[in-house]
Amino acid sequence: MSQTTNMTGGCYCGALRYAVTQPPVTGGQCHCRACQYFSGGNVNFYMLIPSDSFAYTAGTPASYTRPDKENAVTRDFCATCGTHVTTRRPGLKQLVLKIGTLDDPALFPGPQMAIFTEEGQPFHIIPDGVPAFETLPPMRR
């Protein structure tokens, strides 16, 4: 995925803008129940990017961490338009960036894995040949 360097993006209303200066580590699709809320019911497409390669160039995100879950992720979103931009997972060095917020989402070469399929829906589609994991892949647990 080395072609996807110096990516830019932001939220739907434009209050949040960001830049990414290093290539993503990997990318995939998440089937978890939480992602279904944010995506409209489908999977969420994401890239894992080195945390220090990501910076907001305009605006400051609001964030939310569920208080009732152990090791809950923190989701950053635009407080004005509600666009979900990133997720930070405790213990994960990389940042989870939502493909739909890229200025050019077509930079995403497609998912390299499907995760949290145990929470998926019957109408979710996993492309042929894409490895699927019931939760996180072993190296990320």
How many whole angstroms separate alpha carbon 63 and alpha carbon 60? 10
x/- mask, Zn ion, residues 63-92, rule CB under 5 A, reads ---------------x-xx-----------
Q: Tell which residue, 33, 43, 3, has the closest CA to residue 20.
A: 3
x/- mask, Zn ion, residues 14-33, rule CB under 5 A, reads -x--------------x-x-
Q: Under the criterion CB under 5 A, does residue 35 sit at the interface with Zn ion?
A: yes
Q: Under the criterion CB under 5 A, does residue 13 sit at the interface with Zn ion?
A: yes
Q: Which helix (H) or strand (E) covers residue 14, if one does?
A: none
82-141 positions binding Zn ion, by CB under 5 A: none
Quick check: helix, strand or coil at residue 37? helix
- DSSP codes, 51-77: GGGEEEEE---EEEE-TTSTT--EEEE
Q: If binding means CB under 5 A, how many residues of this protein chain bind Zn ion?
A: 9
- Residues that bind Zn ion in the complex, under the rule CB under 5 A: 11, 13, 15, 30, 32, 35, 78, 80-81
